[in-house]
Amino acid sequence: MTAVTPGLVCAHTHLYSELARGMPAPPEVATNFQEILEQVWWRLDSALDLEMLRWSAKLGALEALESGTTAIIDHNETPNAIEGSLSVIAEACEEVGVRVITGYGVSDRNGAEGAVRGLAENKRFLDEGGKCLVGIHATFTCTDETLEAAAALADEYGVGVHIHVAEGPGDIDSPERLAGLTNDRWLLSHCVYLPTDHHLKGTILHNPRSNLNNGVGYADPARFSNPVALGTDGIGSNMIESFRLAYAMQRSVDVTAGPDTAWSWLEEGWNLVPEAREDEVIWSYEPMDPWHIAFTPGIRPLEVKVAGEVVFTDGEPTRVDANEIRAKAREQAARLHSRL
């Protein structure tokens, strides 16, 4: 019995979205996933600049530490602030003390030039030694040429691709569009509408809260032969909370399921970011066992070490001022919301 675990890993998030909380309502009520993208997320990501992104990423990193998460796999989409965006995210996370692997989600949504610029940002960051997975938004916003170029760039640098797959019904042809491109380094996020026998290689990233919030359904990731890891899709980085919800959702379709399967999805994050195994979180509850955690509210980290350094203790980060980050994030959120 122990109250210590390695640092937790959030396998899929969008640090650019932390300032969305409290944003103005969309012009019309969205009635399906495509409308949610068009009226909420694509309006928001287009309004971001690099200063907003910096404080959004710092807030996301701070809240990750506060929940015992020491490593984040980020997927950035800021179509009017592409150049330099991955460095801004990496610097923000380094300042707070959180590990991050990021990448720019390329897309033809804003024209071919936007896709080219997104690919160039991934390449620039990789050339500078950044920890990066080549990002693709999704097949339904990309041409075949862009998908092939992103896959080729990832292969050139020996890294994976991070992509949304079959999140909604508008992306059901993604297995055919991606045929022959994927490998075991790829991260396939959501996969709600992905057939069980799909032939795509890579790790599936399960985001139960986001899928519920967007009304797209339940991915039922236990049906896949691929490895499965847990993410949040931008709704914080509290992986204990994500684990609990993943277990409850699985239980809703299979009353024989126990929490061990969902916990194995949480543990899969350590295969994606092995360095997080060396981090250390001391928790407020003992034992940190899935059969206890699934039914115990209020578990929180007491101390967090990253690479041997105490970066969170006594409820506060040690590298940064949490109050300053929240104040600056509120200022940038006001700027962002005024543009919507």
Contact between 304 and 278 (Cβ < 8 Å):
no
- Convert the pLDDT of each residue in 201-227 to its tens digit: 999 999 999 999 999 999 999 999 999
The helix (run of H) or strand (run of E) holding residue 52 is helix 50-65
Contact between 94 and 80 (Cβ < 8 Å):
no
Q: Are strands 105-106 and 228-230 parallel, antiparallel or unpaired?
A: unpaired
The whole-model pTM stands at 0.98
Rg of the chain (C-alpha set):
19
Boundaries of domain holding 327: 4-338
At 245, the pLDDT band (50, 70, 90 cuts) reads very high
Task: Please provide the average confidence, as pLDDT, over all residues in the chain.
Answer: 97
Q: List beta partners, residue 187.
A: 162, 203
What pLDDT score does 89 carry? 99
Q: What are phi and psi of 78, to 5 degrees?
A: -135, 80
What pLDDT score does 2 carry? 64
What is the distance between the alpha carbons of residues 199 and 54, in angstroms, rounded to a whole number?
A: 38
198 three-class SS: coil
At 264, the pLDDT band (50, 70, 90 cuts) reads very high
- Convert the pLDDT of each residue in 147-185 to its tens digit: 999 999 999 999 999 999 999 999 999 999 999 999 999
Percent of the chain with pLDDT over 70: 99
More confident residue, 222 or 2: 222
What pLDDT score does 57 carry? 98
- What is the total count of domains within the chain? 1
- Checking if the pLDDT of 295 tops 90, the result is yes
- Checking if the pLDDT of 248 tops 80, the result is yes
Those residues whose C-beta lies under 8 Å from the C-beta of residue 11, and which sit 6 or more positions away, are 73, 187, 203, 205, 229, 230, 231, 268, 269, 272
Q: What does the pLDDT average to over 82-108?
A: 98
- Convert the pLDDT of each residue in 269-281 to its tens digit: 999 999 999 999 9
Q: What is the CATH number of the domain that holds 13?
A: 3.20.20.140
Structure tokens at 167: 């999140």
Those residues whose C-beta lies under 8 Å from the C-beta of residue 38, and which sit 6 or more positions away, are 30
At 282, the pLDDT band (50, 70, 90 cuts) reads very high
Q: Are strands 69-74 and 8-13 parallel, antiparallel or unpaired?
A: parallel
Judged on CB neighbours under 10 Å (0-12, 13-18, 19+), 334 is exposed
- Checking if the pLDDT of 14 tops 60, the result is yes
What pLDDT score does 297 carry? 95
Q: Are strands 99-101 and 203-206 parallel, antiparallel or unpaired?
A: unpaired
Q: What does the pLDDT average to over 97-125?
A: 98
- Convert the pLDDT of each residue in 50-65 to its tens digit: 999 999 999 999 999 9
Q: What does the pLDDT average to over 290-298?
A: 97
- Checking if the pLDDT of 1 tops 60, the result is no
